[in-house]
Structure 1
């Protein structure tokens, strides 16, 4: 493959100029397109075989729908989704419902509805994805007296996917208290204030949880998530049957969720006072991110390559640098090619 050096990549994608190479394929850096994330997404191609475990089946997707304000909000787990659903419900007359492809298309293309969502920097999001999925499949979920029946049933049906392949994740843990001993200050545990454990900085100073996280990243292929919270962001922004992108109006930055939602509401004629928007489930990181190696971070960026490429997100610096003596293999690139008469974005993976 030939990597272009003096080619306007955006112009090629938009077919404003022909492909200059006979093989019709080349690679480019994530975040280098002169397009918004929503516009870049419209050119994304997802291989439904490769990413089958990420993409929900069926032709209906969960969204919050406000007919009064002609607004559709597509949730993406671990991308400010809890805050979004609160705002839609409390301020914008939104209701969660399963929405079909025809409805999405009709409302956005013919009736003037806005279809929005929030996205997040993929490396940072992966830390949250892992912690959510770790919690949801922990041994404590087998306690029928403490766990809601549906969650307990889900745990019993899925625990083998994790415990068989990553047995080290829960070594020495049988209860939530065992887990909390690794990240919660002793004075809270001994003072019967365990409910405060997720409100204070972690004490994973010796890196027990960080080391287990690194082992998981080493062994995880990125293609077989056991929990929806580990899915790629892009997988929530396509139709499950075809893999075609949803007709998004705009994708907002989840790092400034409060300001963005106030702006969205204002555009719909609804004023939300500063401080009135509650943040969703927020908690300090449980494992010590400072102990995570650069090699692990690069592996995560590679696993999240489709998000970086299809959402036109610039890579963190650590993922732009190859390991010494290896100029290509540990970098993340996007692929552009002609496919079925159109130019598409894919990950180089």
Structure 2
């Protein structure tokens, strides 16, 4: 129920309602120039009440974001991922300050993206916006807001800071594999780790977590069902998400190479325990990879271990492997994720496939 009063030439709207426990609540807003404006506001509030919106709740957006990720995200994410949420929370606090969540409009949010995106890469903006979108959906589910102010927002970013991941051609991959084979000796696991990445496309933390129980020589498969928190030396941790748990087929050459490590007599392929890995291992692997590429005359700017995953995808696409099979092999939850991440590669091979389609149609 709404009531209206006029004070000092301005109209006030007061909305009264009872919650499910019978408790009376009231919400008032003043400053309307006309009674019609006050009635419009009251109608909007009453409609939101009908739609389950808690019109009395209006937390500061930065506070709500912090409470949301601490409640729904923190208990099930790694320490490294938690650090990313903390950084995002600081960004939101700095930009939005004490602005309450109901005050934020689509235009407000888009202005934030435009401003913050000026000095940040696409990857940074994509990660930040995905967190904010999830938070806003939670606020809608909690009945705090009725509309998604992130809807159809455009991600803006600094193109100069955004680099397309580099990948190796087939001939370059063959050169690298040959150089790595020359480095193979069981007391140096780095070339084995890099080769595993080339042949599987697995993530660095997933490769480190492999045990001999995960390797099936009979069926030529490797099972990925955990990862290693090497950054904080916390041992095993779950994979990135449920879909990352997978069993993939591998070639006999990789299995033969990995068998050399059995002489180390360790439960894990590359270490005695998951705590054995140094937190500098990824940096060391990147340095080894780049030095090996330089040694064989391959120049790639800032080529990293993760780029091996892109090279794996590039090779499979070049061989005409279906995107669905690639998505499953990478451990993505759906093909949309694969298409979004590797869109630049898919576009490159689309031209090749278009030529093949044209040739096939000409045979009709």
More helix by share: 2
Which one has the largest radius of gyration? 2
Bigger relative CO (Cα 8 Å, ≥ 6 apart): 1
Taking structure 1 as the reference length, the TM-score comes to 0.22
